[in-house]
């Protein structure tokens, strides 16, 4: 048997989260002494396809059908199920994402598989197949057991090291038969935020809170974000006050993010906000209140006035670049 990875892309660019899933699959394949392959759906260049090999996959099946570019869930599930059978796999790995979650749920039924999401570590196979997963928005962990022969694991963002030293993967065209029912639902339009970097996909996020005192000061947040190549976010009180659009609201009731770096400026650190950012790899907090709860969750903290710290930090970053 083998392992196959469902690889997502954005307009032809392989997503970092999928490379993390591929790295996880590579480690799992080594643990089990089997092969790890990937499947990519839609229009993607040969270079991008082969680049998946750096994460440890030997082969990538490419279903080159532009109907799949829109991310229709039922169609993706049918295509991946056929790739799963083609590979002779018993384990499917994917990144936890809005599309990945929906596809995985349908595949669990199609493949009669056990499905566990938010996976943070390789499974234990001594006696039973047990997987460690994150629960309660990252506040605890659970050990979950899969008893089915076929298994689907959704890997949490930033939970596993990214492998980068693998050889380019061989690319194999794969023809699939998609039913009419796979396209019964159609995506007629997609409205995207105007940000240069989509907040859920950003590797760096700079967020501001009420400590910025008003929308007229947001240029300081935007200048730092631009210097870092980051997306911008905000706390709930900021979006509720109309200082920033609601699609920038980061938190439990807004957008949940898991960037490599999250910079929180003038945000106290309410539990609802922390629940939306605690999957970040590194958290930097800038706040003039040394007792702000956010400092307890921070990897690095700066106690100081944002209006003094941000211009100096932005200039320092520009100088380094």
List, in order, residues 6 or more apart from 94 with CB less than 8 Å away: 5, 6, 8, 18, 21, 100, 103, 104, 152, 153, 154, 155
Residue 226 parent element (H or E): helix 219-228
Q: Is 9 one of the annotated binding-site residues?
A: no
Q: Are the C-beta atoms of residues 156 and 21 closer than 8 Å to each other?
A: no
Q: Is 271 one of the annotated binding-site residues?
A: yes
List, in order, residues 6 or more apart from 136 with CB less than 8 Å away: none
Cα gap 298→64, rounded to integer Å: 44
Q: Is 249 one of the annotated binding-site residues?
A: no
List, in order, residues 6 or more apart from 188 with CB less than 8 Å away: none
Residue 123 per-residue DSSP state: P
Structural Rg of the chain based on CA atoms: 21
Cα gap 108→115, rounded to integer Å: 6
Q: Is 268 one of the annotated binding-site residues?
A: yes
Helix axes 73-86, 98-110, angle to 10 degrees: 60
Q: Is 266 one of the annotated binding-site residues?
A: yes
Of 107, 102, 160, which is closest to residue 134 (Cα–Cα)? Answer: 160
Q: Is 187 one of the annotated binding-site residues?
A: no
End-to-end CA gap in the chain: 47
Cα gap 37→52, rounded to integer Å: 10
Of 272, 266, 204, which is closest to residue 236 (Cα–Cα)? Answer: 272
Of 75, 83, 150, 158, which is closest to residue 112 (Cα–Cα)? Answer: 150
Q: Is 7 helix (H, G, I), strand (E, B) or coil?
A: strand
Number of Cβ atoms within 10 Å of the Cβ of 221? 25
Binding residues for FAD: 210, 266-273, 287
Binding residues: 210, 266-273, 287
């Amino acid at each position: 048997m083998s392992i196959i990875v469902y690889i997502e892309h954005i307009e032809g660019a392989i997503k970092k989260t999928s490379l993390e899933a591929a790295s996880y699959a590579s480690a799992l394949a080594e643990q089990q002494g089997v092969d790890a392959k990937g499947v990519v759906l839609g229009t993607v260049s040969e270079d991008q396809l082969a680049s998946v090999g750096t994460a440890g996959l030997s082969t990538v099946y490419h279903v080159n059908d532009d109907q799949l570019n829109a991310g229709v869930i039922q169609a993706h599930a049918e295509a991946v199920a056929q790739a799963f059978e083609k590979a002779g796999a018993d384990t499917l790995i994917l990144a936890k994402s809005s599309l990945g979650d929906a596809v995985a749920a349908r595949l669990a039924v199609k493949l009669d598989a056990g499905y566990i999401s938010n996976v943070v570590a390789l499974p234990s196979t001594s006696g039973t197949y047990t997987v460690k997963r994150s629960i309660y928005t990252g506040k605890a962990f659970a050990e979950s057991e899969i008893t089915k022969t076929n298994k689907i694991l959704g890997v949490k963002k930033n939970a596993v090291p990214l492998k980068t030293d693998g050889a380019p993967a061989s690319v194999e065209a794969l023809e699939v038969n998609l039913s009419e029912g796979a396209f019964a639902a159609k995506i007629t339009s997609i409205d995207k935020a105007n940000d240069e970097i989509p907040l859920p996909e950003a590797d760096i996020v700079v967020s501001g809170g009420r400590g910025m005192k008003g929308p007229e000061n947001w240029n300081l947040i935007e200048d730092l974000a631009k210097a870092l190549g980051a997306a911008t976010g905000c706390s709930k009180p900021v979006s509720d006050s109309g200082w920033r659009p609601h699609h920038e609201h980061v938190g439990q009731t807004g957008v949940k993010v898991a960037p490599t770096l999250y910079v929180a400026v003038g945000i106290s650190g309410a539990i609802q906000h922390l629940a939306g950012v605690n999957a970040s790899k590194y958290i930097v907090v800038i706040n003039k209140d040394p007792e702000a709860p956010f400092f307890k969750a921070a990897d690095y903290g700066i106690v100081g006035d944002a209006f003094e710290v941000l211009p100096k930090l932005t200039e320092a970053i520009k100088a380094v670049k």
